[in-house]
């Protein structure tokens, strides 16, 4: 056995009821009632269970707050859950500090396709357990740090998957990369959607999750009807923009103090149709620019961006998502994803 940090989980904990204090626990105190990543299996009147994952990122609390509201309601009315509900509480340690992940930890939403981290073993164990019996449906609930609409993601274009995502929002995103996400692994087991609930902790996102989970607990099956509707927007993630690990980043007018500089209102570009020539930022002379890779990992920056003097401009019509002004998130995850409209056959 190697010398693992005792705080690095290699297996999940199990509970068959809510731990005492869960319904009123502040998210940054969850570590006092949960001993690391935990699967809580709650009995309901019907099987198979609905699986809901929360807090894979410790600073994305809407899923947790939504489940507190929902479960408190059943508890106060002394009503049984209409269906089994399995809750996976992810990065309890990071939640304590209100961060996406702690230094030294892997990103908990990149551990679901194998790997060397102890956390990958924990992930494998959970997936093995989930695949050993039927699941009704699965949700993985997130927030984003930038100003984005609330939207639902799917990793398969199966109508059942799309119908779950559409319960959250008319804005849907289909993606296959990054493939190490929990949503991708769950998609092999049952109808699955990942919920992006806007800024963490805001009522709109929380209330929508409460409503959707309630609906899924009551419903007898997941609709496989083809999605139609003029108000429906489906996008396909085609590439991802990252910055060099060592690049210094800033916001505001380019002053050359930073390797890369972005407009103050960068986040206002999220989910908007951008014309070629839209300004994304400035690059200091000699600094590495943006890295743009497609779903196969190919360098495609020449397709999507161009540099004009020090300005970084879009080269073709596209949409961006997850643009954020949070420099830590840009470094740890990415600057944004590039999307194109996806025509659904109707
Ligand atoms: Zn997240």
CATH numbers and ranges of domains, the chain: 13-218 (3.40.630.10), 238-339 (no CATH)
24 alpha carbon – ligand 1 mean position (Å)? 23
319 alpha carbon – ligand 1 mean position (Å)? 20
Residues with pLDDT less than 70, the chain: 1-7, 254-255, 345-346
What strands, in cross-sheet order, belong to the sheet with 311-314? 249-251, 260-262, 279-283, 311-314, 305-308
CA atoms within 13 A on the CB side of 332: 20
DSSP code, position 7: T
The sign of the CA dihedral 142, 143, 148, 151 is positive
45 alpha carbon – ligand 1 mean position (Å)? 31
59 alpha carbon – ligand 1 mean position (Å)? 8
Contacts (Cβ under 8 Å, ≥6 apart) of 298: none
77 alpha carbon – ligand 1 mean position (Å)? 32
57 alpha carbon – ligand 1 mean position (Å)? 5
Confidence (pLDDT) at 332: 86
Confidence (pLDDT) at 3: 44
Distances from the Cα of 24 to the Cα of 12, 21, 29, 68, angstroms? 23, 6, 10, 7
Which tokens in the block code for residue 13? 């904990």
Tokens 């400035």 belong to 282
Which tokens in the block code for residue 40? 């809580």
257 alpha carbon – ligand 1 mean position (Å)? 30
311 alpha carbon – ligand 1 mean position (Å)? 30
**Burial label, 278 (beta-carbon count in 10 A; 0-12, 13-18, 19+):** middle
143 alpha carbon – ligand 1 mean position (Å)? 6
22 alpha carbon – ligand 1 mean position (Å)? 21
The predicted-structure confidence for 117-169, as pLDDT tens digits, reads as follows 999 999 999 999 999 999 999 999 999 887 889 999 999 999 999 999 999 99
97 alpha carbon – ligand 1 mean position (Å)? 15
Contacts (Cβ under 8 Å, ≥6 apart) of 57: 90, 91, 94, 100, 101, 107, 108, 109, 142, 143
219 alpha carbon – ligand 1 mean position (Å)? 27
DSSP string, 83-142: S-EEEEE--HHHHHHTSSS-TTSPPTTS-BTB-SSHHHHHHHHHHHHHHTS--SEEEEEE
Tokens 């590439």 belong to 239
145 alpha carbon – ligand 1 mean position (Å)? 9
Q: Are 171 and 151 in contact (CB under 8 A)?
A: yes
149 alpha carbon – ligand 1 mean position (Å)? 14
- Residues 119 and 129: their CA atoms lie apart, in Å, by 15
**Burial label, 114 (beta-carbon count in 10 A; 0-12, 13-18, 19+):** exposed
Confidence (pLDDT) at 2: 42
- Residues 202 and 305: their CA atoms lie apart, in Å, by 33
């Amino acid at each position: 056995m190697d010398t693992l940090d005792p705080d690095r989980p290699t297996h999940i904990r199990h509970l068959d009821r809510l731990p005492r204090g869960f319904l009123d626990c502040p998210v940054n105190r969850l570590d006092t009632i949960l001993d690391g990543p935990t699967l809580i299996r709650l009995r309901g009147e019907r099987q198979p269970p609905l699986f809901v994952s929360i807090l894979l990122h410790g600073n994305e609390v809407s899923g947790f707050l939504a489940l507190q509201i929902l479960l408190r309601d059943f508890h106060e009315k002394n009503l049984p859950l209409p269906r089994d509900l399995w809750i996976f509480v992810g990065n309890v340690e990071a939640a304590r500090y209100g961060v996406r992940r702690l230094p030294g930890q892997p990103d908990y939403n990149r551990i679901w396709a194998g790997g060397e981290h102890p956390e990958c073993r924990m992930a494998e164990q959970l997936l093995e357990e989930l695949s050993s019996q039927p699941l009704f449906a699965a949700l993985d609930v997130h927030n984003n740090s930038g100003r984005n609409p609330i939207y639902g993601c799917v990793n398969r274009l199966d109508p059942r998957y799309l119908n779950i995502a559409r319960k959250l929002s008319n804005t849907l995103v289909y993606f296959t990369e990054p493939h190490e996400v929990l949503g991708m692994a769950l998609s092999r087991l049952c109808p699955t959607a990942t919920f992006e609930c806007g800024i963490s902790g805001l009522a709109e996102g929380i209330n929508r999750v409460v409503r959707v989970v309630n609906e899924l607990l009551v419903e007898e099956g997941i609709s496989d009807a083809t999605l139609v509707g003029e108000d429906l927007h489906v996008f396909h993630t085609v590439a991802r923009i990252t910055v060099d690990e060592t690049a210094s980043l800033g916001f505001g007018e380019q002053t050359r103090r930073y390797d890369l500089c972005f407009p103050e209102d960068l986040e206002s570009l999220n989910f908007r149709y951008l014309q070629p020539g839209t300004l994304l930022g400035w690059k200091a002379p000699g600094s590495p620019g943006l890295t743009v890779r497609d779903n196969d990992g190919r360098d495609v920056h020449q397709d999507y961006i161009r540099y004009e003097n020090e300005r970084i401009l879009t080269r073709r019509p596209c949409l961006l998502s997850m643009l954020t002004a949070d420099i830590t998130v840009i470094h740890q995850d990415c600057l944004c994803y590039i999307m194109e409209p996806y025509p659904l056959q109707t």
